[in-house]
Structure 1
Amino acid sequence: MEPIDYCIRIYCPDNLLLFAIFLSFLSAMAIGRMMLNASKFVMNKKGQRLSIIELEMPKTFARFTDTLANMTAKAKEAVRLNLILDFFFMPCLYLCMFFVATYVKHRLAYNHSVNDVWICALSWVRLLPFLTWALDITENMFTLSLMRQPNRRGVIWMKFFSIVKWLSGFLYVLYFIMLAVIYLLTKNHLAN
């Protein structure tokens, strides 16, 4: 008996991509809301609210240990819960970013709206969310580990991963801003 190969071809993935964007965005918003609720309990012993960013990007090791020492047990539990929820939030957010880039790439290539160089660059830029996702996972693992047993080298690595994560996310957004400007300039130029 010979094996039968099946092939699925999607000639116009617009609706499928829009549905994936909608679903992943909605999921990210729902989990983000839970994270926001959990972050309300992240306070120091004086009752002042703290940001998780203060833990993930401390200025110095001493600042990190001071922040940990000044957190209540309830606040530390809220941070742990927030970091665990972040593991569920990440796939929703980063897949949404990937789907948006894929959708934009498809639409621009289909309409021949911009130069092929920008579309080729978008093929690579749309992979940035996966790098950011990996960095976010690493950052959260370091944060969870350092909350139990802080050490100077770990804090430096955690801060490094956090900075590179935010930088890659910024580059992703910056690329889309540049693409939008080029698209608008090209569209206006073609209209005249």
Structure 2
Amino acid sequence: MKFIKTGIEGLMIIEPQIFKDDRGYFFESYSKTKFEAAGINIDFVQDNQSFSQKGTVRGLHAQSAPHAQAKLVRVIQGRVLDVAVDARKGSPTYGKYETVELSSENQRQFLIPEGFLHGFAVLEDNTIFAYKVNNYYAKDCELGVLWNDPDLAVDWGIDPSEAIVSAKDELLIKFADLDSPFTY
């Protein structure tokens, strides 16, 4: 596995070593030993999966303490543009974001620590998105920011007029109105 740092401290891209032959391929998507050797000591407790059509935008979401979540995300089928926004007060990159294209072709993964808002835009029909989390879902701890907040100006890789967004996500607040519970 190759662990690649990004421009925002804590965010990391993981590229697995893929073994291909005429039957297909094999790779380790997660190895606690290899993650720990790379300085990542996160105890994942749950795997989640979603299925979406092209144009779907999910996010920007997070959970606050005591149920804050780190996520290890990847695409099993299809392609997404994954987005993580630094919401850690005091961080030199507070309000900045990183995007990573994840696909069944590149098999990349994106590690998003606690303290980040997370979302993704689906770039292909029939996309299956999977992620590990280190804490369980808690409705009373969920928070979110509008995916299309003009102050963040995230380029989601899709035409905003064609975005398919849940009614719940359309009601989220702007980043400037977020009283972030996270600290750097």
Which TM-score band (shorter chain)? under 0.3
**What TM-score results when the alignment is normalised by the length of structure 2?**
0.22
- Greater relative contact order (CA < 8 Å, ≥ 6 in sequence): 2
Query: Normalized against structure 1, the TM-score is what?
Result: 0.21
Structure having the higher strand fraction is 2
